[in-house]
Amino acid sequence: MKRGLVLGALIAVGYLSIVVAGFQAPPAGPTAASLAATKIEKVKDSLYVVTGSGVADTNAFSGGNTAVFITDAGVVLVDTKLPGWGPTILARIKTVTNKPVTTIINTHTHGDHTGSNEFFGTMVDSVVQENTKANMAKMDEFKGEKSRFLPKRTYKDKLTIGKGKDEVDLYYFGAGHTSGDSFVVFPALRTVHAGDMFAWKALPYIDTGNGGGAVAHPQTLAKATATIKNVDTVIPGHIPVTTWNDLKEYADFSQNFVDWARKEMNAGKTADQAAADYKLPDKYKGYVVTVNEQFASSKTNMQIVYDELKKK
């Protein structure tokens, strides 16, 4: 499952352009390229991931990684990709189980993670963190008649679904990528879906319009890694399945960037000057700095950190 880390950054370029466009004109449906790239891969017994697909070409992009957890009662999905991907997700599920989809969990609001909720209908249980439901309610895809596809249940800090080998724990530790990012833990399998709190090994996309915070991002990751126990495997938002140590390293990477920004601001440098001087520390092997010049780059992220620090 290990692929080049730069691949994750290339995926991000397509992802960000789609997210920030607000899904005003999403792809009509899966393309041949995205279908070929979107595979179902085994993570552990009863847990699979339908990969996010796509590289530099947005024609091959399908959205975030979808977790498929097979329980006695049915299938729990975590994230549903872009609009139009429901049939493909279901087809991939049917290659590993005949059980129905009974529950959908969305890690956050973005349409490349919630886009195919509607396909699975209103009879499926659906759960998100309470801030994410509020963010989703602002999306055109969940307004008016389509509000019936909003999640049925919310939680504030922690929620447990199921028990024993079928248990799923949802945690919220604070703002980061958005204001409502869930960490979805499968305790019996020692695995967590981190969503876009850990989208790739590069600077994070901080969606300030949906309550995200650059200063809070590493703090939230640190709370997650300090609180969640007995996990060794991580499903990120847009790169291949990786390790718990990688998530901890990513928290350090994000904090390092915030610390650099604070130091530069205290030294009297502008955000642009600090961004120009920032260099990726040698210890973060395989990382990249700039994912997208407008939305997730040293310049964009530095300005967000500066703006947040000035308010404190």
What tokens appear for 172 in the block?
Answer: 């919220």
Exposure letters 34-52 (e unless 16+ CB within 10 A, then b): bbebbebeebeebbbbbbb
Q: DSSP code of 163?
A: -
What gap in Å lies between CA 229 and CA 292, rounded to an integer? 33
C-beta separation of 251 from 218 below 8 A: yes
Segment holding 155, helix H or strand E: strand 153-155
Helix residue ranges per DSSP H, the chain: 5-20, 32-37, 86-94, 111-114, 130-136, 216-227, 244-266, 271-277, 298-311
What confidence tens digit (pLDDT) does each residue in 124-154 have?
A: 999 999 999 999 999 999 999 999 999 999 9
C-beta separation of 53 from 38 below 8 A: yes
- Residue 254: per-residue pLDDT: 98
Helix, strand or coil, per DSSP, at residue 159: strand
Tell me the mean pLDDT per 10 residues along the chain, length 312. Answer: 37 40 48 88 98 64 94 98 95 98 98 96 97 97 96 98 98 98 98 96 95 98 98 95 98 98 98 96 91 76 97 86
What confidence tens digit (pLDDT) does each residue in 260-283 have?
A: 999 999 999 999 999 999 999 999
Cα–Cα–Cα angle for 284, 111, 298, nearest 5°? 30
What gap in Å lies between CA 62 and CA 38, rounded to an integer? 7
